[in-house]
Chains A and B, each alone.
Chain A
Amino acid sequence: MFPYLSLFGRQIPMYSVMILFGMLAVMLYFVCIRGRLPFSKADGGLLLVYSTAGVFVGAKALYLVTALPQLAADFGGLYTATGLFLQKYLYSGFVFYGGIYGALAAAGIYCRVCRLPMDQALRWLFPAAPLFHAFGRLGCFCIGCCYGRPVERLGVVFSHSPIAPNGVMLFPSQLVEAAAEAALFCLLLWMALRGADGFALLGVWLASYGVLRFGLEFMRGDAYRGFVGALSLSQVISLVTVAWGIWLLARHGGRRAAEAAATTAEK
């Protein structure tokens, strides 16, 4: 829609600008909640930094897994066309689900090693994920990636996109996902403020986002995604994500019921 911003004679990709806004929004969120964290500032900071590293490593690792057959075929290019090979496999291609799972794994390991309460870390830090992702999807909308299928009404028409087909009415899949992520951020924050368990928050997001993404993939029109049979790779991961979310919610519900029963028995 608006792929580049002209500033002082330089073309700045709007995707980067939206990511910068997302980072600023996340920092503002952390400034607002820092007094509520049940561990030291240094531990909170380290948890964030390791999670950020987990995002990069997880997103790249999952991309490489999905591109494994082509990576194997192109591997000779590492010596003959090193620059192009690195452009293709190192500097491009990050998978969102990989980033989320990478961050969760890194945070889980850090909490276990430093004996920090993972449920409290999730309760206060996890709402930042949908907040940041909402801005990321707005960036996708600006540049035109992750575009939707052609529709006859209720769509958007790109005119200067370097990726999406211009002049065709397309389903605004990026805007729908951004709005849903913003709503999920509000829901998770509300749950955190009401004292919900961190794993319940995670379960709600996993189940909700998984269902949303599974449905939205049917409305996507970009062809350069991985496919496993009739389903896209994201849909397969969404199924696993929804199952994990439901399991977390069921376990949380069972634990609360057991606690309620124990309290009643004590009385």
Chain B
Amino acid sequence: MQTNNNIPGQGAAVGSLVLGIVSVVLCFFGYSSIIAVICGIIGLILAFNAQKAGNNSGIRMAGFVLSLIGLIGGALTLIACVACVGAIGSLGMSLT
């Protein structure tokens, strides 16, 4: 029986899938989008590292796709927040 230890880059592929799911879930909520971006970037790095190690499994592909969606979604939500906050800033928001 083949175990995970025998498949090259399987740990990275699973990590990519987990981070991809986390980033997709978090990218829909305004202020958690920055965490979605970070998880998406790390997920993509893990997916490419798994590919570099010779892993072409479905888990790696799913991790890659979910991380990419999470990164793009998180970046868009973050930038939308930036645009809103920028508008507030131009109206004179101050902490003091």
Contacts and interface: CB of A to CB of B under 8 A. Distances in A.
Nearest to A83: B31
B72 interface: yes
Interface in B66-96: 71-72, 75-90, 93, 95-96
Interface in A32-67: 40-43, 45-46, 49-50, 52-53, 56
A23 B72 contact: yes
Interface centre among B51, B76, B83 (most CB of A within 10 A): B83
B65 interface: no
A84 B41 contact: no
Interface in A145-162: 145, 162
B44 A162 contact: no
Interface of A, secondary structure class, is helix
A16 B76 contact: yes
B89 to A, nearest CB: 6
Contacts, number: 87
A143 B90 CA distance: 13
A88 interface: yes
B45 interface: yes
Nearest to A146: B86
Contact of A15 (B44, B71, B79, B96): B79
Contacts of A93: 82
A213 to B, nearest CB: 19
Contacts of A222: 90
Interface centre among B41, B71, B77, B87 (most CB of A within 10 A): B87
A43 B81 contact: no
B19 to A, nearest CB: 12
A74 interface: yes
A91 B34 contact: yes
Contact of B48 (A49, A84, A145, A163): A49
A19 interface: yes
A94 interface: yes
B95 A81 contact: yes
A91 B75 contact: no
Contacts of B34: 90-91
B24 interface: no
Given A16-B76, A45-B44, A90-B34, A74 B86 contact: no
B87 A163 contact: yes
A224 interface: yes
A20 interface: yes
Given A23-B72, A91-B31, A56 B37 contact: yes
15 contacts: A42-B48, A42-B52, A43-B52, A45-B44, A49-B48, A52-B41, A81-B95, A84-B95, A88-B93, A90-B34, A91-B81, A91-B82, A91-B85, A94-B82, A224-B89
Interface of A: 12-13, 15-16, 19-20, 23, 40-43, 45-46, 49-50, 52-53, 56, 73-74, 77, 81, 84-88, 90-94, 143, 145, 162-163, 222, 224
Interface of B: 31, 34, 37, 41, 44-45, 48-49, 51-52, 71-72, 75-90, 93, 95-96
